[in-house]
Chains A and B, each alone.
Chain A
Amino acid sequence: MLFSSLTFLFIFLPLLLVIYFLAKDKYKNYILLAVSLLFYSWGEPKYIVLMLLSITVNYVLALLLDKKRKYDKLFLIISLIFNIGMLFSFKYLNFFITNINNIAHLNISLFKLTLPIGISFYTFQILSYVVDVYKKEVKVQKNIFNLGTYIAFFPQLIAGPIVRYQTIEEELKTRTHSIEKVSDGLRRFVLGLAKKVIIANNVALIADTIFDSPNVSEYGTLVIILGMLAYTFQIYFDFSGYSDMAIGLGKIFGFTFNENFNYPYVADSVTDFWRRWHISLSSWFRDYVYIPLGGNRVSKLKWIRNILVVWMLTGFWHGASWNFILWGLFYGILLLIEKLLLSKILNKLPKVIRWIYTFIIVNIGWLIFRLESLDTLKVVFKNLFTTGSKGFYNFISSNYDLVNYLPFMVLALIFSFPIYKIINDKLKDSTIYLFIKDIIIIILFVLCVAFLINNSYNPFIYFRF
């Protein structure tokens, strides 16, 4: 189920709110676990078994690891093999088979497996829990229902943010509920919904029309730039909108999730961009891969290796395809260049130049991310720099319905900058402003519902990761 579905908004959410807030505190986690499993099974009924297996196995392994400290490494390894093995089987196995077939000219048949929704997210959450128990940074969870609630908690289950166990460890036991938390959570939820439904879904049509066309390799510079910009906005408003909804829902039920985005498109360096984009993923890789590898407290060569390994894995986490690996390495190399050479020069440049440099890099990055075929990527890249306005008029006249979605690009551009944050910070003490803001949020919610009733195009990018 998606948050941006009418079923969620008008059946799931109201029923859950009523049941949850009528129930006694001691039953609240059970309710959340039950509805989270229902939420998950709504889209993937058969994979609910996988989810339950994951919860049970990791619960037992973490208990054993904590109880038999002599063998804790063994249980940790078993847990890593189990979790990464699951992720590998469902997400990466066919990728490796295809590549082995290509290299060794074999014909090993592929497995007919569909990717369980959110497996990359919940696997990383489970890993963080088991590793933290092993490192004694968190206490083992003795109540399987509480652990289940953490792993399956529906707001962050299918698209993050990746919530560490330690972030909500205390809140799983005791948490407070208040009118303020509920109303703030609802506001945040609606703003996220608007980002997704009003902006992301509409600019997605421009990006998908261009990049899903089999003739994408024939488009000229202007068409590619249009598609690239549209995708840049789509992925941000889609994913950050979903994160906002997750954070808002978490707050309603008394949980505090960390922020996952901080206006990434205002970044003035690639390093800065990655401090602002998908924060929960980059910090996960930092804490569970980069630092265990030695981080930057090693020789320069090893440090370079560490950076490249982390970024290759970051890319690979997004999908079993070479373009994602390339995308990760693209950023790894750029970060190295910035750290070793460019940062001194960049710091001397005006902010606007640094911003343009970063925005162009990020757009190129998304192009690599969007085009899964490396052959297509090669041609599109060449065309991006060599073909000018060729075919632009023809493209627009054949796709003139796209004009309908251009105003949403303008909205996307405006709201990529922290305008809302600036206004909010400035006027947060004005009662009139706060009332007007609430009216706007309610209107936005009604508008979102209208868009959902009318619009069948509701893709969701991070669903598949």
Chain B
Amino acid sequence: MEKVRNIIFITTFSLVLCLGFGSLFTSQKKISESENRDLYQFKHPTIGHFLKGTYQSNLEHAIEDQILLSESIKQNMNKYLSFSNIFLHKGFLCKNNYLKLGQKDTNIYYNFNCDKRMVYGYITNDDNNEKKLISIIDSYSKLNELVDTYYYYVPTSETINFRDGSTTWDIYSELTKNLKGNYKIDKLKYNGYDEYKELFYATDHHWNNRGSYKGYLDIVKLLKATGKVNEPVDEVTLDLYFNGSMARTIRKYDFQEKFRVYKFTEDNKPLLKLQNGYEYGQQEKYLNNQYEEGLILNHYARFYGPDLPELKFNTKRPELDNLLIISNSFSNAVNVLLATHFNKTFVVDLRTYENFNPKEYIEKNNIDKVLVLMDDSFVTCGQFVIDWGNK
């Protein structure tokens, strides 16, 4: 029996090895559609490449990419090993009483390109997503009737196929066609992959300093905001290891990038302090090289400010309007810039509210304008739908 068991074990083990080994000789896949990237290919060895070690590293990557079921293994591993999401959804990190993060209902996975740039997998206008968008549009159309509402949409790699420049889901058109009432809308414009690369991080899903600043300028125009535009005097590249959200999620810790930020002069700088005196973000510390470094540190949140349920800024200039921003983490990078143009600026992240009553909030805080700053994940996330109920 022992011999039989050993033979069965060796045969099964060999089978797994053969499946892996054999799949290396099947025709090589060139592109991963779901990951939106070129896959590594097996190359012929050369002495030069071998001595440099590039042949060896390419071979390891090529096996990773070409081995049987590689793509679905990656997707499932990332799905089931993201324990942090479970804790986040349970409100593990939330202290305020109105905080209770609901079930995240986006269906996103994160991927990377061979040029060490990571992009989202596509989302499309399937029935499920279409329904979510309609709910968003319907609920915000009611908001339009209540107050001057402005929409700024940030298209991300989730809805663009950079290979042919086509849009997998034209959310902007759907918004402009279907939103009702009195509103104004604009979007972040860029053409193709090269421009996209200028405006977004390589390893993180957010817009970078250039993208968010471009967005800020667009929003100031859209809102017809008064006051001098904050103009950076310098662009500084901080010498730190930035392993963005997408890299962290798929555990590609060797994917890193430099962290580029803008520097403003003292008399023309963003409003970095909240109404309660606390600093939002650590922009000054970073610019003075007083920042923490760590393998998986979220520098976007630390530099610009973290996701919080509510932020209040106050320039104490009652002659200006009061603004309410409804957004997700995309607004973190522009909150402090926009706040300089208003008397009071309120920012709410609806993902952290069980019941948000916009009417009450607008009345209580004398809101003059509402900015809805949305990216692709915003419209596919049910938590941003305003539940009007009998409000």
Interface residues of A in 153-196 (CB under 8 A from B): 179-180, 182-184, 186-187, 190
Q: Tell me the smallest distance from the CB of A211 to a CB of chain B, in Å.
A: 10
Contact with B along A44-65 (1 / 0, CB 8 A): 0110000000000000000000
A180 with B87: CB separation less than 8 A: no
- Bound together, the chains give a CA A451 to CA B78 distance in angstroms of 10
Interface residues of B in 301-343 (CB under 8 A from A): 301-302, 306
B294 with A213: CB separation less than 8 A: yes
- Bound together, the chains give a CA A184 to CA B5 distance in angstroms of 11
Question: Which of A4-12, A24-32, A136-144 makes up part of the contact surface?
Answer: A4-12
Selected contact of A205 from candidates B10, B83, B253, B306, CB within 8 Å: B253
Selected contact of B63 from candidates A1, A7, A180, CB within 8 Å: A7
A453 with B5: CB separation less than 8 A: no
Contact with B along A197-225 (1 / 0, CB 8 A): 00000000100111011110010000000
In this complex, the member of A10, A45, A215, A431 whose beta carbon has the largest number of chain B beta carbons within 10 angstroms is A10
A102 within 8 A of B: no
A454 with B251: CB separation less than 8 A: yes
With A6-B67, A186-B9 known as contacts, the answer to whether A399 contacts B297 (CB < 8 A) is: yes
- Bound together, the chains give a CA A179 to CA B3 distance in angstroms of 8
A434 with B5: CB separation less than 8 A: yes
List chain A residues, Cβ under 8 A from B21: 10-11, 14
* Chain B interface helix/strand/loop/mixed: helix
List chain B residues, Cβ under 8 A from A186: 9-10, 13
With A7-B63, A9-B20 known as contacts, the answer to whether A454 contacts B78 (CB < 8 A) is: yes
Interface size in chain A (residues, C-beta < 8 A): 58
- Bound together, the chains give a CA A388 to CA B125 distance in angstroms of 51
A283 within 8 A of B: no
* Chain A interface helix/strand/loop/mixed: helix
Selected contact of B10 from candidates A183, A209, A451, CB within 8 Å: A183
Q: Tell me the smallest distance from the CB of A207 to a CB of chain B, in Å.
A: 10
Which residue of chain B lies nearest to A407 when distances are taken between CB atoms in the complex? B83
With A7-B63, A456-B254 known as contacts, the answer to whether A450 contacts B83 (CB < 8 A) is: no
Q: Tell me the smallest distance from the CB of A5 to a CB of chain B, in Å.
A: 6
List chain B residues, Cβ under 8 A from A43: 53, 56
Contact with A along B2-19 (1 / 0, CB 8 A): 110111111011101110
- Bound together, the chains give a CA A7 to CA B63 distance in angstroms of 7
List chain A residues, Cβ under 8 A from B18: 14
List chain B residues, Cβ under 8 A from A452: 64
- Bound together, the chains give a CA A455 to CA B298 distance in angstroms of 19
With A6-B63, A402-B296 known as contacts, the answer to whether A456 contacts B252 (CB < 8 A) is: yes
Give the interface of A toward B (CB within 8 A): 1, 5-7, 9-11, 13-14, 42-43, 45-46, 179-180, 182-184, 186-187, 190, 205, 208-210, 212-215, 218, 396-404, 406-407, 431, 434-435, 438, 441-442, 445-446, 449-457
Of the A-B pairs whose beta carbons lie under 8 Å apart in the complex, a sample of 15, sorted by A's number, is A6-B60, A42-B56, A179-B3, A187-B9, A398-B297, A398-B302, A401-B84, A403-B87, A431-B5, A438-B9, A445-B16, A449-B67, A450-B73, A454-B77, A457-B251
